[in-house]
Amino acid sequence: MIQTIRKAWGIPELRKKIIFTLLILLIFRIGNAITVPYVNTDLLATYLDQMGATILGLYNVMSGGAFANATVFALSIQPYINSSIIIQLLTVAIPSLERLARDGGEEGRKKIQSITRYTTVAIAILQSVGYYFMMRNANLLQTGADGIWPALVIIVTFIAGSSFVMWMGEQVTEFGVGNGISIILFAGILSRVPVMVSQGIAFGSQAAINWLWVAVLLVAMLALVVFIVFINDAERRIPVQYAKRQVGRKMYGGQSTHLPMKVNMSGVLPVIFAQSIASLPITVWTFIGIPTKEESPVAYAIYNAIDTKSIIYMVVYFIMIIGFSYFYSSIQFNPVEIANNLKKQGGFIPGFRPGKPTVDFIRKVLNKITLFGAIYLGIVAICPLIVGKIVGSDHLAIGGTSVIIVVGVALETVKALESQMLMRQYKGFLE
């Protein structure tokens, strides 16, 4: 990876793209340091820390700690991610959107992107209003900041910050390196590493734990990164043979190739979506008020049963990851469409007739590798929860999700740099 970046830096055009991306990330980090007026950030950070590993904890990590500090970019790219997921789901459910995505071409892609932008702003408005009322109800605002003007300033600032982050991500995608939204997400999570390390050291010192276990945990984290890299690049290759056909005096076809199917083709989306839904009840309950054992023994028992550290939550979380993995793989990979394309191009899978037998075989392989990829995502997401339950820390609860995102974006960015360097080599050769 370092070698690829060094080579890309030596190409003037790519150097400009890298510098542009770094400047955007610098602006993003500056925005994460500017707090919104009228908010008591000390009380807010303490309040969110007491809430544990709810969906707000996921927002805080993905924003680089900006959510807990109520900065200008507190919502970060969460509204855009949620908007993209919603539009993707509606594309499957609404025929007009499905036709627009499938047959609309470049114009259709732009229309869907425009719809995603408007949906992002709408979600940012809802989240900003909800965030403000959460802070007001929990007495996290500064003294005398209960009027209409402070509310308007806080809400409008959050909405503008989220919209600006979305715009910066699109600029990186167009003029920078890699996917802009992923790069900003990567930078936000990575900026939390020093804080997480300091919190881990402080926790280890207070708990007086055996530092041998810390070394074992570090080795396990490195092994987890290697495992994620291996699975991220793993794919099932189905052999495809193209029949020979004569067009005029020329003979076409006859070559052998393969149909690649990635083991984890849905990425980290099932984990994000499953965690958002699984932790929603406990998050809403926390907003209402955590019951005590003396006030309501039954409510207290139910709260502990669905808490993010409970066995029930882990089981539901794991099942949801598997379910969403199958859902996203069915969206991204259509066996019927693949089989029809092979048939039109004169290709076939050895041992299977074109048509329904080919569709059944592709669907069978897809189900197998999706199950393996879903179990992999579930293990990576659940292991930090189990370790956090053992050591008594909530900060590990979303560690698996963060590692998957960081490693995946790093590999994706390196591949984008390599592809751009390869394109320029071909361009120079043709010139």
Q: Nearest CA to 150 among 34, 38, 75? A: 38
Q: Please check whether residues 27 and 142 belong to one and the same domain.
A: yes
Of 168, 191, 214, the residue that ends a domain is: 191
Range of the domain at 367: 234-397
Q: Please check whether residues 187 and 280 belong to one and the same domain.
A: no
Cβ(37)–Cβ(150) under 8 Å?
yes
> Which pLDDT belongs to residue 431?
47
Cβ(74)–Cβ(166) under 8 Å?
no
Residue 419 lies in a domain: no
Residue 365 has pLDDT above 50, yes or no: yes
Residue 342 lies in a domain: yes
Residue 87 lies in a domain: yes
* 234 three-state secondary structure: coil
Q: Please check whether residues 160 and 276 belong to one and the same domain.
A: no
Q: Please check whether residues 186 and 238 belong to one and the same domain.
A: no
Q: Give the span between the Cα atoms of 36 and 40, in whole angstroms.
A: 10
Q: Please check whether residues 176 and 279 belong to one and the same domain.
A: no
Q: Please check whether residues 266 and 145 belong to one and the same domain.
A: no
Q: Please check whether residues 48 and 166 belong to one and the same domain.
A: yes
Of 159, 191, 223, the residue that ends a domain is: 191
Q: Please check whether residues 250 and 141 belong to one and the same domain.
A: no
pLDDT-derived band at 265 (thresholds 50, 70, 90) equals confident
Residue-wise burial string across 339-364, b where 16 or more C-beta atoms lie within 10 A, e elsewhere = beebeeeebbbeebebeeebbebbbe
Residue 410 lies in a domain: no
Residue 205 lies in a domain: no
Q: Please check whether residues 24 and 128 belong to one and the same domain.
A: yes
Number of domains in the chain: 2
Exposed/middle/buried for 42, CB within 10 Å: 0-12, 13-18, 19+? exposed
* Mean pLDDT computed over 36-58: 76
Alpha helices per DSSP H over 279-334: 280-288, 297-306, 311-332
pLDDT in tens, 379-413: 888 887 777 677 665 555 556 677 777 887 888 88
pLDDT-derived band at 1 (thresholds 50, 70, 90) equals low
Q: Please check whether residues 101 and 169 belong to one and the same domain.
A: yes
- The H-or-E segment that residue 257 falls in is strand 256-262
> Which pLDDT belongs to residue 229?
82
Residue 221 lies in a domain: no
Q: Give the span between the Cα atoms of 253 and 106, in whole angstroms.
A: 30
- Select the highest-mean-pLDDT range: 61-65, 95-99, 370-374: 370-374
Q: Please check whether residues 43 and 125 belong to one and the same domain.
A: yes
| Residue that wins the pLDDT comparison between 318 and 50 | 318
Q: Nearest CA to 394 among 50, 60, 75, 44? A: 50
Residue 117 has pLDDT above 50, yes or no: yes
CATH number at residue 378: 1.10.3370.10
* Mean pLDDT computed over 330-358: 83
250: β partners: 247
Residue 402 lies in a domain: no
Q: Nearest CA to 271 among 384, 183, 106? A: 384
Q: Please check whether residues 185 and 245 belong to one and the same domain.
A: no
Residue 211 lies in a domain: no
Residue 430 has pLDDT above 50, yes or no: no
Q: Nearest CA to 83 among 165, 153, 26, 151? A: 165
> Which pLDDT belongs to residue 228?
81
pLDDT-derived band at 166 (thresholds 50, 70, 90) equals very high
